[in-house]
């Protein structure tokens, strides 16, 4: 891989969890160049519509480009069809983009629509896999330890937030490429996309 591609990578921990009525989505803030922490406040969680979000693990430039492309495509779809794209549709669109032009990323597309709550894991070659919860990035083994132990069907939004925060905290403590805080958001049909403030995240973590 040449230097122009292997510049700034997000080793990364990102997570998506379905609950009864919505999804919780989160990501850490750290970006690395090899063993060097290149940035401590990288955005890896993106709102791409009122009810759909994207998380990114991989090269920062590719992640930012994809987030802009997807947000624009979903707005155009809404304008053309008069109805929002489904989460499955957004996942399929994302997978098709990666098939046509591979990116050095691993993604989550999460959100809600009339069919319910969804989390899709999308690999760099365009594979798309739905699940009740998913973790990506170098911190995912540590997050899955928390998820396998504490995820339950039909959790409340508060329970899902606590599990997501615990999982991201576990990855930050054990994975050198993850950390420096976290972003968390809740998505529901009624409330749309709501990202927690820094104070709300701090309060949540203090209760864990």
Which active-site residues does the annotation give? 12
- As a whole number of angstroms, the distance between CA 167 and CA 148 comes to 10
Nearest to 26 by CA among 167, 121, 172: 167
- In 3-state terms, what secondary structure has residue 42? coil
- As a whole number of angstroms, the distance between CA 45 and CA 35 comes to 23
- As a whole number of angstroms, the distance between CA 111 and CA 54 comes to 9
- In 3-state terms, what secondary structure has residue 41? coil
R_g of the chain computed on alpha carbons = 16
Nearest to 204 by CA among 160, 151, 162: 162
- In 3-state terms, what secondary structure has residue 165? helix
Q: Which two tokens stand for residue 30?
A: 């750290």
Q: Under a CB-based contact definition with an 8 Å cutoff, are residues 108 and 120 in contact?
A: yes
Nearest to 137 by CA among 111, 107, 166: 107
């Amino acid at each position: 891989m040449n230097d122009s591609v292997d510049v700034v990578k997000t080793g990364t921990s990102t997570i998506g969890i379905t609950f009864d009525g919505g999804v919780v989505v989160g990501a850490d803030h750290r970006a690395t160049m090899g063993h060097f922490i290149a940035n401590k406040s990288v955005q890896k969680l993106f709102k791409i519509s009122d009810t759909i979000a994207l998380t990114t693990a991989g090269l920062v430039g590719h992640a930012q480009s994809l987030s802009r492309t997807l947000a624009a495509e979903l707005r155009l779809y809404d304008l053309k069809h008069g109805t929002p794209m489904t989460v499955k549709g957004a996942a399929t669109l994302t997978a098709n983009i990666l098939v046509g032009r591979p990116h050095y990323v691993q993604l989550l597309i999460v959100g809600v629509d009339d069919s319910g709550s969804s989390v899709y894991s999308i690999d760099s070659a365009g594979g798309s896999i739905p699940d009740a919860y998913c973790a990506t990035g170098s911190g995912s083994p540590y997050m899955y330890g928390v998820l396998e132990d504490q995820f339950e069907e039909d959790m409340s939004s508060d329970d899902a937030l606590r599990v997501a925060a615990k999982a991201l905290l576990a990855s930050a403590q054990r994975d050198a490429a993850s950390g420096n805080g976290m972003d968390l958001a809740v998505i529901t049909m009624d409330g749309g996309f709501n990202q927690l403030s820094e104070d709300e995240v701090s309060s949540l973590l203090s209760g864990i």
